[in-house]
Amino acid sequence: MYKIFLLAAITGLYGFGSLADSHATAEVEDPAAIELTATTEGVDLEMAASIFARNCRACHGNKAQGVASYPSLSDKTPDYIAEKLEIYRAGERIGPNSVLMIQNAKELTDDEINSLAVYVTSAFDE
């Protein structure tokens, strides 16, 4: 079962102050089961799950826990993930796996990066 911690993820990523007063956590069977609201507008967790499965899982692990020289992602913040993906999308090298990351990030849109950042940091049981 996925645990979605939207409070920290969306507040940090989108700066929604009203969400900071809420401490709700949603548990869902799959990302598609999350009903997007005004506070999560633009975050497509189903699309992000698909991108993760296709582009990220092989190196970063089934639950973004990290594998070998590929770091854990699930313990990072959405802002951190989005910033790194934007750097890779721009073609900048920032680590030993930059060539792989640049290839995976170069075609991502801003919405895909934001959705992926929220998904990777909130979708997996700790």
- Give pTM, 2 decimals: 0.68
CATH of 2-122, one of 1.10.1740.10, 1.10.760.10, 3.30.70.2190, 3.40.50.1100: 1.10.760.10
Walk along the chain (126 residues) in steps of 10 and give the mean pLDDT of each run.
36 37 40 41 90 96 94 94 97 95 97 95 80
* Closest to 64 in 3D by CA, of 4, 126, 120: 120
* Locus of tokens 């069977």: 29
Q: Count CA atoms closer than 13 A to 123's CA, side-chain side.
A: 29
